[in-house]
Amino acid sequence: MVKILGRNRLVKMGTIGMLFSIILLFLVPGPVNSAEVIDRIVAAVNGDIILLTELNWELKSGAAGIKAKKLPADKEEEELSNYRKLMLDQLINQVLIDQEIKRHGISVADEEVDQSIAQLREGKHLSEEQFKEEVKKNLGLSLEEYREKVKEQLLRMKLVNSEVQSKVVVTDEDRKLYYDQFEEKYAGGKKYHLRNIIMAVPSEAGEEEKQTILNKMEGVLTELKQGASFPAIADKYSESSASGEGGDLGFFRFTDLSPQLQDALKELKEGELTPIIDTERGYQILYVEKIEDDTGKSLEEASPDIDQQIYNASVQMKFQSWLMDLRKRSHIKISE
């Protein structure tokens, strides 16, 4: 029996991360039409079909982004065609996953759905009414429709855990190999907590424009040397993405910095400034908030982080392998 799958049943998968994060549901654009529409069939997957309207719905935002690039007609057509193939492929994968959920008899209790929604709502610091309004605004869904989406995500997470995650094992040999391969990451050394002020220089800027920007930066440096607060000046003048946070860049291991920045920082103490540095990103001033001596981590101390890194990579590889095998065992017909 051929079953028609309405658009309300489909959610983009894209990458394995989509299976693990309920938060990403807020990124799905537009309202969902729960009506079933008899339309041209674009693919059949083990008896379940995907309709043209479903595919077009998934293509909306991405296609708009491609068209916004204003590419030459042939390039735009090529990108749209490739994007269409990608989205259809993802929809086919999603149907296969949902079929496996049914085959394995995987279920999710209402309490699990309630708990997941409560965690998401609390994480966003929203009241129940505010959360309801945000779901309606961002997704065009009622709370009940959203519950169904969350339930679908939880079902998929359980399937992946059963078929993939539970079969990933990290051995002592794996840990040692990873530790040796990324020795610098755990070796220790000085770590600098940095803030910066940056003024971008357009790539097409002439000498006069560059000098104007440099003069402005020199005025900023004068203010700082006269005792002005670096965070306040960064928020006022900097064009960095961290300008709203006082130019805070966080901690960096000295060896991870570029040779140019290493040279500018190597003699500085906490609370000191670099001169103006002419970098690829523009003119910069760096402020040393704090310097820490990191003693590094032994293999035993680094093991939790190593396990997580290996585990994440292994899950993704095994998931792709499992999905490819599932596709080989399935009857998939694409109608052009």
Which DSSP state fits 273? Answer: B
Helix (H, G, I), strand (E, B) or coil at 81: helix
Strands (E), the chain: 3-4, 41-45, 48-51, 189-199, 248-253, 277-279, 282-294, 332-334
Handedness of CA 78, 80, 85, 89 (dihedral sign): positive
pLDDT digits (tens, 9 = 90+) for 302-318: 999 999 999 988 988 99
Per-residue confidence band for 67, with pLDDT thresholds at 50, 70 and 90: confident
Residues 55 and 95: their CA atoms lie apart, in Å, by 13
Per-residue confidence band for 13, with pLDDT thresholds at 50, 70 and 90: very low
Q: Say whether pLDDT at 203 is over 90.
A: no
Per-residue confidence band for 242, with pLDDT thresholds at 50, 70 and 90: low
Q: Which of 44, 318, 46, 303 is nearest to 174 (CA)?
A: 303
Map out the domains of the chain with their CATH numbers. 3-163 (1.10.4030.10), 188-294 (3.10.50.40)
Q: Which residue type is seen at 182?
A: F
Handedness of CA 236, 242, 244, 247 (dihedral sign): negative
pLDDT digits (tens, 9 = 90+) for 94-141: 999 999 999 999 999 999 999 999 998 888 888 999 999 988 888 788
